[in-house]
Structure 1
Amino acid sequence: MIPVRRLAAVCALGAALAACGTSPAPRAARPSAPAPSSASASPSDPASPSDPASPSDPASPSDPASAEPSRAPTLAPGPAGLTPVFKNGPRTLGKTVALTFDADMTADQGPRAAGGEHFDNPGLISALRGLKVPSTVFMTGRWAEEYPAEARSIGRDPLFEVANHSYSHYAFTDDCYGLPTVSEDRMRADVERAYTAFRTVGVPDAMPYFRFPGGCYDQRALRAVGGLGVTAVQWDVVSGDAFATDADAVAREVLDGVRPGSVVVMHCTRSAAPVTERAVRAIVPELRRRGYRFVKVSELIGAVRASS
């Protein structure tokens, strides 16, 4: 269990964003990447940026997705086909750490973006490139639609991998830091719709990894997205960058929490996490000084598979 002090940032992100209208191992199966069906919602449907989805209808219905071959490692489904959950890599296979960044934007935030609020963080992406830090970006479909050039640039840069953070960033459980919820019969479609958005904006190979909004899930949610071929990715280190104003404090939280195989959750949203870039510029050289090597989530999951 993650210590309460490290959950505080996640709680703050969910509660504060909800209040203001934003949002913050078994033997492996053959890798597969989910592919939304042709019936999945597209950016031109009634829930497009020009006519945002309502909290009760964040995704259009879609038929079950078929799987496409992928070289990305995934974990095997759990009992009864439940979506597998990954939290960290092996602790005994060297000092590796994965920095992950949630690019959050909810389905109904178009007016706020049009009013000048920045849900992206190009300075952070530039810093990661300058520091040569492989990273995994968990992107919502709505974010990709709002920032198509940035999504495409990240998705086509071999330094990064793009993973799924849902289309709407609505919660998959009933009690998730005050976030609006997506109904059980829409959960699968919400994941599929994000993949559709990625392909539409030119992200060629989004990974078969899914991060639940707010990190909230239960057996019902794991069952609802089962069969998509995704591995749910959590974390074992909370950076505390949500709404933080002290970059040094964020850096200390990460440096104090990282262990071999850790997955660190951070954010790629200027309005909600304004000091993340500065924190990263402090975190990266110090972890390298301590002998850590930065990897993408896919490498950690591959290590789990290889050791099982």
Structure 2
Amino acid sequence: MILPVRRLAALCALGAALAPLAACGTPREPRAARPAAPAHASLAPTRPPTLAPGPAGLTPVFSNAPRTADKRVALTFDADMTADQGARAAAGEHFDNPGLIAALRALKVPATVFMTGRWAEEYPDQARSLGRDPRFEIANHSYSHYAFTDDCYGLPTVPEDAMRADVERAYTAFRKAGVPDAMPYFRFPGGCYDRRALRAVSGLGMTAVQWDVVSGDAFATDADAVARQVLEGVRPGSVVVMHCTRSAAPTTERAVRTVVPELRRQGYRFVKVSELIGAASGRR
């Protein structure tokens, strides 16, 4: 917190009489006084920004922020694992991508990870590490990664009366893995939704998050082609969809190592989805 000069001076004068404050000059021996509480201690936590519900209370859908002169872009990564893929993971298939996460940390890129509950169960240590790292935010990608509409990339389908429970089950899996503050954002598996699906998950206070830039990293083998597709598609306020699964998106890390420095050279700043939603809702 940055305090006005006069207020800081007053605080320093008061602090000198109660306890040593390095910022106020020579330390003094502490006296038997109760330390003051931090200025923010009594403030309630700020709820993450969300969009207002749509017509008839339907879950709102966000794809990108306003195209302003502020060149912000959000990289998002789907941590996909369907409920029936446990045997494949046990046989050695990797649905995680530690190298990608390490690259994002090394490049100091904030990002939003849309995680399935089944992924959090399979990789609880990684889920907890991401959830407690302020550079990342965890959002909901369903528990099962089953589709919320028919005919969605061959995914099994969640019955309408089980859709809400599937979303809630993912949040439960996050908490069990040690993710303390998953965001109120939801990405439909496959990005497939309709009015029925929006109605089924309404009332949970969530914003459905789509994208306006498809990276094409799913099952891609050419990292340069993925990078080109992202760079050609990004505009101020863009949301880029990528994947955080080695087996299904093996080139993502290499593409990110190309995309990040180039977008920074172009003047872009990387942010989390929450910042873009805040801009769209007037919060930031």
**TM-score (ref. length: structure 2):** 0.83
SS at match of 1:265: strand
What's the secondary structure of 1:282's corresponding residue? helix
**Superposed CA offset, 1:194-252 (max 9, x none):** 00000001000000000000000000000000000000000000000001111000000
Pairs within 5 Å for 1:42-81: 71-81=47-57
**Aligned-pair Cα RMSD in Å:** 1.3
Other structure's SS at 1:194 match: helix
Match of 2:81 among 90, 93, 105: 105
Equivalence for 2:282:
306
Contact 2:49 2:283 survives alignment (8 Å): no
Q: CA offsets per residue over residues 140-164 of structure 1, 9 Å max, x none?
A: 0000000000000000000000000
Structure 2 gaps, min length 5: 1-43
| Counterpart for residue 32 of structure 1 | none
Matched residues in 1 for 2:65 and 2:173: separation? 29
What corresponds to 1:265 in structure 2? 241
Alignment-mate amino acid for residue 230 of structure 1: M
User: In structure 1, what is the Cα distance between the partners aligned to 2:189 and 2:283?
Assistant: 29
**Higher-Rg member (1/2):** 2
Matches for 1:1-308 after TM superposition, within 5 Å: 71-306=47-282
One-letter amino acid of the structure 2 residue matched with residue 91 of structure 1: R
Matched position secondary structure for 1:207: coil
Taking the aligned partners of 1:100 and 1:278, their CA distance within structure 2 comes to 16
Per the TM alignment, residue 69 of structure 1 is displaced from its structure 2 partner at its CA by 7.3
Task: Tell me which amino acid in the other structure corresponds to 1:208.
Answer: P
Matches of 1:219 and 1:71, distance apart in 2: 26
Q: Tell me the alpha carbon deviations over residues 39-89 of structure 1, each in whole angstroms, 9 at most, x when there is no partner.
A: xxxxxxxxxxxxxxxxxxxxxxxxxxxxx9752000011111100000001
Equivalent AA in structure 1 for residue 281 of structure 2 = R
Q: What is the SS of the residue equivalent to 1:228?
A: coil
Deviations 1:83-107 (A, max 9, x none): 0000001101410000000000000
Residue identity in the other structure for 2:129: S
Letter in 2 for 1:122: P
Whole-Å Cα distance in 2 between the matches of residues 194 and 291 of structure 1?
A: 36
Q: Any gaps of 5 or more consecutive residues in structure 1?
A: 1-67
Secondary structure of 1:97 counterpart: strand
Q: State the SS of the aligned residue for 1:252.
A: helix
Aligned to 1:127, the other structure's residue is in SS state helix
Letter paired with 1:267: H
TM-score (norm 1): 0.77
> Residue type of the partner of 2:218?
A
C-alpha separation in 1, matches of 2:136 and 2:188: 20
Q: Which residue of 1 aligns with 2:15?
A: none
**Is the partner of 2:146 in helix, strand or coil?**
coil
> In structure 1, what is the Cα distance between the partners aligned to 2:69 and 2:160?
38
Q: Which residue of 2 aligns with 1:40?
A: none
Q: Distance in 1 between matches of 2:86 and 2:206?
A: 28
Distance in 1 between residues matched to 2:47 and 2:195, nearest whole Å: 27
Amino acid aligned to 1:294: F
State whether residues 51 and 60 of structure 2, in contact with CA within 8 Å, keep that contact through their aligned partners in structure 1: yes
Q: Structure 2 CA distance, aligned partners of 1:162 and 1:80? A: 28
Cα distance in 1, alignment partners of residues 122 and 154 from structure 2: 24
Q: Which amino acid aligns with 1:154?
A: L
CA–CA separation in structure 1 for the residues paired with 2:119 and 2:243:
13
- What's the offset of the Cα at 1:306? 1.1
Offset, 1:287: 0.1
What letter matches 1:214 in structure 2?
Answer: G
Distance, in Å, in 1 between the alignment partners of 2:48 and 2:112 is: 13
